[in-house]
Structure 1
Amino acid sequence: MKSFLLDVYSIGVSKVLMIAFGLTTSIIIARALGPEKNGIIAALLVYPSLFMSIGSLGVRQSTTYFLGKGIFTEEQIKKAITQIWLFTTVLSIGVCFILMRYFSKSGENLWLVILALLPIPFTLFNTYNSGIFLGKNEIGYFNKINWIPTFIVLIITSALVLWLSFGISGYLMALMGGPLFISCILLFKNKFINAFTFKYDWRVIKQMLSLGLIYAFALLVVNLNYKIDVILLDNLSTAFETGIYSKGVSITEYLWQIPMLLSTVVFARSAVSKDDRGFSLKVAQLLRLSFLIIGIASLVLFLLSEFIIVLMFGEAFINSVLVLNTLLPGVVLLTIFKVINMDLSGKGKPWVSLKAMVPALIINIILNIILIPEYGASGAAMASTISYSIAALLFIAFYSKETEIPIVTLISYKRSDFKPIVQLVKKFKS
């Protein structure tokens, strides 16, 4: 547990930096551009961010699994990754262009569409690289891949949006800068430059994609539950309502960094664990802790929501308060899924999440279509909360069945649950 806590602490520092840089960037574009232009940005970025789920083909997860289990060597995996990356880059850009250009109101501006597409190859490359670091349990390198780009995006956004007043174009250019910088470093740091070859090992590629596609499809359905409201708002409402929603939901995304902090370590450790049930019991302990922490944080956020929204984004986003408050109950419940899903994914069972997420997604779409025309952003928030709650309750039942651990055992607090917090506090003091 000690080494586990060290990894949690390490990723925790990375997450704090990501939240700080990301939140500052979000504040800058909110105050500089206003709700309507923020809505255009949200609509432009929803397809690239969504398609990263299927476009990455689950390569990071399958890389972590095969490398962690020692099924393939690092060199075999690197060569396969470079070949898969070239294909997925072309595929991702092509599909995203069609979706943005012809299925989004914000896709009418070709220049903005092109700018929104440019980060895709570099983001994919970094995603694939991170799977190698997770498979080798090199959490420190994994952290840097995540927080350094957010810092660079903040610097470039400040220069292009605040100083040069490039508006939406400036922010989209900044989004390319961070991934591009890390990609250039990783090309040599991780010796990927030597992995590019025309000699194909179809056995490795086939096995990585056969497992990876399952991860990718599962992740696509999960992310659709998070993004479908923006897609439907873009088509059924106005850019203003989309902008209001995007800022309300952005606060919950930062709140989710707490369970995601645990999930990254859980996935990496689960992939190399020899005692599956014993590890799942540790995951259940982390679930109970994270649920408590998220619950308390959400209560504080609910009580201070108006102050926080206005302080960060300005009076123009006052309607985002209702969005945030409506989303919080669902966010708390979905913490269950966020933490324990990575355990099953690390065990090579990503398909279990589909049993919970597919019904939840269908309900989310139906409710959004009903609620958005009349209630706009707040209607989308209500649909998401109901969907998140259903997904969480279904998934814990399926997780219990897969791990053969009773639900009561999973959710019952014990005095020993709080030892990790005590240990982290002691480490921080020392």
Structure 2
Amino acid sequence: MNSFLGDLIRVLLSNIIIILFGLLTSIITARWIGPEGNGVIAGLAIYPSLFMTIGSLGIRQSTTYFLGKGIYPEDKIKTAITQIWFVTTVISMIICYFLMTYFSKSGFNHIWVLLSLAPIPFTLFVTYNSGIFLGKNDIKTFNKVNWIPPLIILALTLILVVVFKADVSGALIAGIGGPLFMALLMLFKNDFLKSFNLNVDLKIIKSMLSLGLVYAFSLLIINLNYKADYILLDKLSSSYELGIYSKGSAITQYLWQIPMVLSTIVFARSASSKNDKEFSYKVAQLLRLSFILIGIASLILFLLSKFIIVGMYGKEFESSTVVLNYLLPGVIILTIFKVMNMDLAGKGKPYVVIKAMIPSLIINVILNVLFIPKYGAAGSALCSTISYGFAGISFLYYYSKEVDIPISEIVKFRKTDFNPIFNVINKIKKGS
């Protein structure tokens, strides 16, 4: 448990840094570009972010699983990754260009489209190869992969948007810098360059794709749940409403960093765990702790929402307050999924998520189509909360069946639940 706590502290610090850099970037784009410009950026980002879920083919997750279980050697996995990456990058760029050009309101501006597409190859390369570090439980290196790109994006946003006043184009160019730098660093610093060769091992590629495609499909359904509101706002409303929604929704993404701190470690350790059921009991404990932390943070956000939104983004984004408040209940309930899904994914069972997320996605789309034309961003936020609530509760049921632990055992609080927190506090005290 001590090594788990050590990883937890490292990931926590890394995520705090990521949140800080992300918030500062978000504040800059809000104050220098405004609601409509932010709506344009959000609209352009929808399809690359969605299609990178498909294009990633679940390779990071399957890499973590195969390396964590010791099924294939690292050098052969790396070679297979680079070969898959080359093919998927080309396909992803072509299909994504088509989607953005014909389905996004901002697709008429081909320069913006190309700038939005440019991060795809670098992001895919980083995503694929970061599974190596998770499979080896190298959380320290995995953290660097996560926080360095946001730092570079923040620095470039300051230079291009604030200093040179490059507006939407500047923000899009800044988004390229982080993934590009990390991809080059991985290429030359971690021996990935040696993995580029023509020795194709079809057995490994087939194994990674067969498991990875299940991960990819489940991740696609998950991300469609998160992005359906963006897509439908882009089609059924205005860039202004999408900009308002994007900033209110962005705050909730930072809330989810709390369970994501846990889920990163859960996934890595679940992939290499020798006693699956015992580990699932630990995950249930982490879920109960996450509920408390997310609940407290959500209450504070709700009480201070107007002050936080206007203070960070300016008076123009005051309407984002309603979006944030409507999303908070759904965010709390979906914490169930955020924590526990990584346990099943680490066990090689990503298909379970599909049972909960497809009905939730259908609910989300139907409600958004009905609510957006009349209520705009606020209506979309309410629809998302309803679908998130359904997804979280139904996933708890399926998880309970899969790991053979009663729901009452999963959700019942115990005094021992707080031992990890006390251990962290004691560790900090000893260190000081």
Gaps of 5+ in 2: none
CA deviation map 1:225-250 (0-9, x unaligned) = 00010000000000000000000000
Alignment partner of 1:265 is 2:265: yes
Separation of aligned partners in 1, 2:146 and 2:358: 29
What is residue 7 of structure 2 aligned with on the other side?
7
Matches within 5 A, 1:31-70: 31-70=31-70
SS state of the match for residue 271, structure 1?
A: helix
Once the two structures are TM-superposed, the CA of residue 51 in structure 1 deviates from its matched residue by 1.2
Q: Paired residue for 2:409?
A: 409
Alpha-carbon shift at residue 88 of structure 1 (Å): 0.8
Greater shift after overlay, 418-427 or 314-323?
Answer: 418-427
CA offset digits 1:240-282 (Å, max 9, x no partner) = 0000000000000001000001000000000000000000000
Give structure 1 regions of 4+ aligned residues with deviation exceeding 3 angstroms. none
Distance 2:52 2:405 in 1: 33
Partner SS, residue 323 of structure 2 = helix
1:300 Cα deviation after fit: 0.6
Give 1:195-214 correspondences, 5 Å limit. Answer: 195-214=195-214
Distance 1:340 1:408 in 2: 15
Name the counterpart of 1:351.
351
CA distance in 1: counterparts of 2:92 and 2:255, whole angstroms: 29
Alignment of 1:207-222 (within 5 A): 207-222=207-222
Give the Cα–Cα distance (whole angstroms) in 1 for the partners of residues 177 and 305 of structure 2.
32
Amino acid at match of 2:313: F
- The CA RMSD measured in Å over matched residues stands at 0.5
Q: Distance in 1 between matches of 2:261 and 2:129?
A: 19
Residues 145-170 of structure 1: CA deviation (Å, up to 9, x unaligned): 00000000000000000000011111
Q: Which residue of 2 aligns with 1:121?
A: 121
Aligned equivalent of 2:383: 383
> SS of the residue aligned with 2:348?
coil
| 1:129 shift after superposition | 1.3
What are the superposed Cα offsets for residues 151-198 of structure 1, whole Å, 9 maximum, x if unpaired? 000000000000000111111111110111111110022101111011
Q: CA deviation at 1:396?
A: 0.3
Counterpart residue identity of residue 169, structure 1: S
TM-fit CA distance, 1:102: 0.2
The alignment status of 1:314 with 2:314, answered yes or no, reads yes
Question: In structure 2, how many angstroms separate the alpha carbons of the residues matched to 1:190 and 1:61?
Answer: 19
Counterpart CA distance in 2 for 1:185 and 1:31 is: 32
**Residue 74 of structure 2 corresponds to residue 106 of structure 1:** no
The one-letter amino acid of 2:408's match is V
Q: Aligned residue for 1:234?
A: 234
Partner AA of 1:17 in structure 2: I
Deviations 1:35-84 (A, max 9, x none): 00000000000111111111100000000000000000001100000000
> Secondary structure of the equivalent of 2:71?
coil
1:278-333, Cα deviation, whole Å (9 max, x unpaired): 00000000000001100110001000000000000000000000000000000000
CA distance in 1, matches of 2:356, 2:122: 32
- 1:427: Cα distance to partner? 2.1
Q: Percent identity?
A: 62
- Give 1:426 deviation, angstroms: 1.8
Distance in 2 between residues matched to 1:344 and 1:323, nearest whole Å: 31
TM-score of the superposition, structure 2-length normalised?
Answer: 0.99
Structure 1 residue identity aligned to 2:62: S
User: TM-score, normalising length from structure 1?
Assistant: 1.00
Q: Give the aligned partner of residue 26 of structure 1.
A: 26
Q: Secondary structure at the match of 1:107?
A: coil
Q: Which residue of 2 aligns with 1:420?
A: 420
Partner SS, residue 261 of structure 1? helix
Rounded Cα–Cα distance in structure 2 between residues aligned with 1:267 and 1:45: 27
2:72 partner SS: coil
Instruction: Measure, in 2, the Cα distance between the counterparts of 1:216 and 1:231.
Output: 20
Residue type at the aligned position of 1:203: K
1:193-226 Cα shifts (integer Å, max 9, x gaps): 1110111100000000000000000000000000
Amino acid at match of 2:10: S
Question: How far off its partner does 1:108 sit?
Answer: 1.0
For the residue of structure 1 that corresponds to 2:398, the secondary structure is helix
Equivalents in 2 of 1:261, 1:92: separation in Å? 29
1:95 CA displacement: 1.2
Residue of structure 2 equivalent to 1:364: 364
Q: Report the equivalent of 2:190.
A: 190
Please give the alpha-carbon distance, in whole angstroms, between the structure 2 residues aligned to 1:241 and 1:330: 20
User: How many pairs are equivalent?
Assistant: 430
Matches within 5 A, 1:120-139: 120-139=120-139
Distance in structure 2 (CA, Å) of the matches to 1:52 and 1:257: 20
Q: Measure the CA separation in 2 of the matches of 1:365 and 1:428.
A: 46
Give the Cα–Cα distance (whole angstroms) in 2 for the partners of residues 242 and 426 of structure 1.
45
Map of 1:302 onto structure 2? 302
